[in-house]
Amino acid sequence: MVILLVAVLVIAVLVPLSESRPLATVTVLSAALFETCKTGDLAKVLLLLAAGADRNYEVDVDGPWLGFSPLAVASQRGHLGVMRALLTAGASVNKAESQYGMSSLWIAAAAGRVQSVAFLLSSGAIVNQCTLDGNTALTVASRLGHSRVVELLLTAGADSACAEISTTSSSSSSSSKFSPALNAALLGDALVNASFDGDLRTVIWLLGVGASVTYSAAGGENKGAFPLYAAAGWGHLNVMKALIAAQADPNQREGARTSLYMAAAFNQLDAARLLLSAGAWIDHTSSGGPTPLMVAAERGFLKMLELLLASHPTPNVDHQVQGGATSLFLACGRGNLLVVIALLKAKSDPNLVAKGGVSCLQIAAAHGHLAVVKALLKAGGKLRHVDQSGATALSAAIEGGFTGVETFLRASLAASST
C-alpha cells in the first residue's frame, strides 16, 4: 500500500511532463500502457504512467481493440489495482470508445466482471450511459445472461426497461431469477472481496446500496469469510473503521476464527488495537477452537501477545484446543522463548498436558529448545512427569538426539534427588 501511494504521488508529479514530450514518444508509451493493462502488471503500469503515457489513450490500430482505452481493457480483464491506478492518474471513468460508444462500465458488464462493475460505479460511472446504438450496460449484461451484474446494475439505479431478461416471475409457478437472496449474495460477495483488497471507496458504496456488513461468503475461495474478517487479516484500517461504523460485529466468527484471530495470525497490531477498542474478545472461539492468543503464541508474535494479554484483566491463558494444547504448549513446541516467558509471567500453568499426557517440558525437550526447558523448570515444570506412553522429558531429548538438553536434564534430575 505504501509503494502504491508513493507511485501515485510520482504519477501526479510526472504525468504533466508528458505535455512536453514528443508526440511519437507519448504514443509509444501509451501503446505500451495499453498492452500492460491487458496483463494487469500494476508495477509496469505505474512506471509507464509516471513516464508520461496517456491514461486516456485510445487504440487506433484496426482490430478487436480499436477504440479501447487502458481503463476499458483493465475493466474487461478485471484488474482492479490497475483500474484504481488509472483513475487516480486522471483517466476518465466515463470515456467511451469512438467506434461504438462503449464505456468501460459497458465493457465490464459485457464481460460479466462483477467487481469491475462495482468499482466503476463507486468511482462515478454513469449507470445508464448508452452506446451509439442506444444500449446500456444493463442491456448487454441481461442479453448475455450475467445475472449477478444485472442485479448490481439494478441496485445502482439502472433503468430496468433496458433489461432483456425479466426481473419478475413470469407465472405463479416460477420463482424470480433475481431474488432478494441473490441480490444479498451479490452485494455481500462484492463487499467481502473489496474488504480483502482494502478498497475503501467500493466498500462505502456497497454499504450504501445495501450490502450486509455481516454477510458470510457461501462458497468459492473466500467461503466463510465476512467483511471485517477479510479486512483485519490485511490490516486495512480505514476499511475496518467503515465496517465497524456500519455496525460490523467485532466478535463475528468464521468457524472458530474471529476478526481478532485474523489480525493476530498476521501480526496486524493496529488492526488488533482497533478491534479490541470496538469490543473484540481475546478468548472468543468456538468449542475447542484456537484463540487469538494461541495463534500469536504459536507464531512467536511477542508484541501481539503482550497487547492481547494487556487488554484483559484475567485472560484465559490456559484455554485448550481439542487436542489439549495451550498457548504455552504451542510456544514451547516452537521454541519461542520470549513468548514462553510472557505466558509464564501471566500465570500460564506449565504442567497442563495435551493429548496423550504430553507436557510442555516434554515438547520443548523433544524439539531441543534448551532455553525453554530451563524457563519451564524455573516456573515449576514437573521434571519427572511421565506421559501415557511412558515417555519423559529426558527420554524425549534422548530420542531426538539433543545432547545439550539431555545433559541439562540429567544434571537437574541428579540435583533434585540429593
At residue 324, φ and ψ (nearest 5 deg) are 90, -5
> pLDDT tens digits for 393-413?
999 999 999 999 999 999 999
Exposed, middle or buried: residue 53 (CB in 10 Å: 0-12, 13-18, 19+)? buried
Q: Please tell me the distance from the alpha carbon of residue 382 to that of residue 392, in angstroms, as a whole number.
A: 10
User: Domain 2-162 classified CATH 1.25.40.20?
Assistant: yes
Minimal CA–CA distance to 81: which of 42, 121, 50, 120?
42
Q: Alpha helices of 15-125 — where are they, by DSSP H?
A: 23-39, 42-51, 70-77, 80-88, 104-110, 114-122
Is the Cα torsion angle 103, 109, 115, 121 positive or negative in sign?
positive
On whether the pTM is more than 0.85, the answer is no
Q: Mean pLDDT across the stretch 317-334? A: 90
Residue 334 is which amino acid? R
Residue 410 is which amino acid? R
Directed axis angle between helix 337-345 and helix 292-299, to 10°? 140
Contacts of 336 (CB under 8 A, 6+ apart): 297, 298, 300, 302, 372
Q: Which region, left, alpha or beta, applies to residue 63 given φ > 0 means left and ψ of -120 to 50 means alpha? A: left
Per-residue confidence (pLDDT) for residue 16, from 0 to 100: 43
Per-residue confidence (pLDDT) for residue 82, from 0 to 100: 92
The distance from CA 194 to its chain's CA centroid, rounded to whole angstroms, is 9
Q: Please tell me the distance from the alpha carbon of residue 75 to that of residue 191, in angstroms, as a whole number.
A: 18
3-state secondary structure of 253: strand
Q: Nine-digit cell at 141? A: 449484461
Residue 162 is which amino acid? C
Return the domain boundaries, the chain.
2-162
Per-residue confidence (pLDDT) for residue 371, from 0 to 100: 97
Q: How confident is the model at residue 151 (pLDDT cuts 50, 70, 90)?
A: confident
> pLDDT tens digits for 16-55?
444 444 555 678 888 999 999 999 999 899 999 888 899 9
Minimal CA–CA distance to 346: which of 378, 380, 316, 304?
316
